[in-house]
């Protein structure tokens, strides 16, 4: 039961305090400086040359995605910060601010990936940058291919650094050949948006369907990236690798409940993430220069890794089984909320509740 409490804490811990800075004036870091139109990106001979190793250009991909999909997201709620894609640029901002877009190679003196660099570049050796590539370039290319992001008369090319060309792709055809599962799921997400938005379904049903397709695409991208980026993870300290794996594995719980990652919820979710890269000498949860919330989050992630190994993923499977309908997923999010925030909630009964939910599907 302690593990279930810990797993839930990963998702909702951020409401207990704040540590990491993931936004500026309620928007992703440097959002206002990122191009908002395809025509504002560099071109050569009529071909848009997107450089995803330029921070502002990568952020521009998210701005184009959000602006282009907003017309289909009315079911998410009123306001301009309800689009569930907002979590992606906010994550990129946290990675920049926390130093996770730099080269982690021992002895590296490169300033690339530092927020103070000009222009702000992204290191090709960063595991976090590699993971984010599959959560930015792949959905962007799928959105252009399906017409959600309209490129007009321009052709489109993604710049790929020659020294790591085997790990990345340069256009839609290239990406679809190398990563068919992820690209197919992103295409399905974008192709379905207008159909779902225009349907006679209730907003509750529309929202659940859109989030289901989005999380399926995000999980496919994460799985693809996990394999493609694995060598870069070896460059980090043991504590940082432990955190990274826990952070990655927690996505399964959030995805199964079809978490609506608008700006407010995403900020709360990311607030306790460590504000710097961990070193070999760091001993979570007792790192002096990190906040209590950061230390607690690191303890939770480490605990999850250990118990997941022991249980062989059985809790994740039970959780997924329980999240079998829109109503169950809504109840699941409420269940996580109550477990953490309500001291009167009978935590000892959680396993029984999950079992009952999964068997009633």
pLDDT of residue 36: 95
User: Strand (E) positions, the chain?
Assistant: 23-24, 27-28, 43-44, 47-50, 155-158
Q: What is the DSSP string of 104-138?
A: -STT----TT-TTSSS-B--TT-HHHHHHHTTTHH
Q: What whole-number distance in Å separates Cα of residue 339 and Cα of residue 334?
A: 8
pLDDT of residue 59: 98
pLDDT of residue 138: 98
CA proximity to 134, closest of 101, 95, 98, 167: 167
Number of helices (H), then strands (E), in the chain:
16, 5
Task: Kindly state the DSSP code that residue 43 receives in the 8-state scheme.
Answer: E
Q: Are 253 and 301 in contact (CB under 8 A)?
A: no
Distance of CA 109 to CAs 103, 112, 114, 120, 123, Å?
A: 8, 9, 11, 15, 12
pLDDT of residue 162: 87
Instruction: Kindly list the domain boundaries of the chain, sorted by start residue.
Output: 1-19+237-361, 21-179
pLDDT of residue 311: 67
pLDDT of residue 198: 95
Q: Are 56 and 35 in contact (CB under 8 A)?
A: yes
**Tokens encoding 27:** 């928007």
Q: Are 140 and 158 in contact (CB under 8 A)?
A: no
Output the tens digit of pLDDT for each of the chain's 361 residues. Answer: 444 444 444 444 433 344 567 788 889 999 999 999 999 999 998 899 999 999 999 999 999 999 999 999 999 999 999 999 999 999 999 999 999 999 999 988 899 999 998 899 999 999 999 999 999 999 999 999 999 999 887 899 999 998 888 889 999 999 999 999 999 999 999 999 999 999 999 999 999 999 999 999 999 999 999 999 999 999 999 999 999 998 888 888 889 989 899 999 888 878 889 999 999 999 998 999 999 888 888 887 777 677 667 767 777 888 888 898 888 888 877 776 565 434 455 544 555 666 767 777 7
pLDDT of residue 137: 98
pLDDT of residue 76: 97
pLDDT of residue 344: 55
First to last CA, the chain: 23
pLDDT of residue 4: 47
pLDDT of residue 103: 96
Residue carrying the six token digits 């997201």: 73
pLDDT of residue 84: 97
């Amino acid at each position: 039961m302690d593990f279930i409490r810990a797993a839930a804490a990963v998702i909702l811990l951020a409401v207990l305090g704040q540590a990491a800075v993931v936004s500026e004036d309620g928007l992703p870091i440097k959002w206002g400086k990122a191009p908002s139109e395809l025509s504002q990106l560099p071109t050569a001979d009529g071909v848009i040359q997107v450089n995803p190793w330029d921070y502002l250009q990568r952020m521009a991909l998210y701005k184009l995605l959000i602006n282009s999909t907003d017309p289909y997201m009315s079911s998410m709620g009123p306001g301009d910060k309800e689009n569930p894609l907002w979590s992606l640029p906010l994550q990129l901002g946290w990675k920049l601010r926390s130093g996770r877009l730099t080269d982690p190679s021992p002895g590296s003196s490169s300033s690339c990936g530092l927020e103070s660099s000009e222009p702000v570049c992204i290191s090709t050796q960063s595991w976090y940058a590699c993971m984010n590539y599959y959560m930015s370039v792949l959905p962007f290319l799928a959105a252009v291919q399906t017409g959600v992001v309209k490129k007009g008369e321009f052709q489109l090319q993604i710049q790929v650094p020659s020294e790591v060309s085997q790990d990345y792709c340069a256009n839609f055809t290239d990406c679809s050949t190398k990563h068919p599962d992820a690209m197919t799921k992103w295409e399905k997400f974008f192709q379905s948006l207008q159909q779902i938005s225009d349907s006679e379904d209730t907003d509750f049903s529309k929202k659940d369907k859109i989030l289901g397709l989005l999380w399926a695409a995000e999980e496919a991208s994460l799985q693809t990236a996990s394999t493609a980026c694995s060598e870069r993870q070896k460059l980090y300290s043991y504590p940082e690798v432990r955190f990274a794996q826990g952070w990655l594995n927690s996505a399964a719980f959030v995805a199964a409940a079809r978490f609506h990652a608008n700006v407010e919820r995403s900020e709360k979710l990311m607030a306790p993430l460590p504000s710097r890269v961990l070193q070999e000498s760091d001993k979570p949860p007792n790192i002096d220069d990190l906040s209590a919330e950061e230390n607690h989050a690191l303890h939770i992630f480490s605990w999850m890794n250990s118990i997941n190994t022991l249980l062989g993923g059985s809790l994740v499977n039970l959780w997924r089984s329980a999240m079998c309908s829109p109503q169950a997923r809504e109840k699941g999010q409420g269940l996580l909320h109550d477990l953490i925030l309500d001291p009167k909630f009978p935590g000892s009964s959680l396993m029984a509740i999950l079992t009952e939910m999964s068997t009633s599907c």
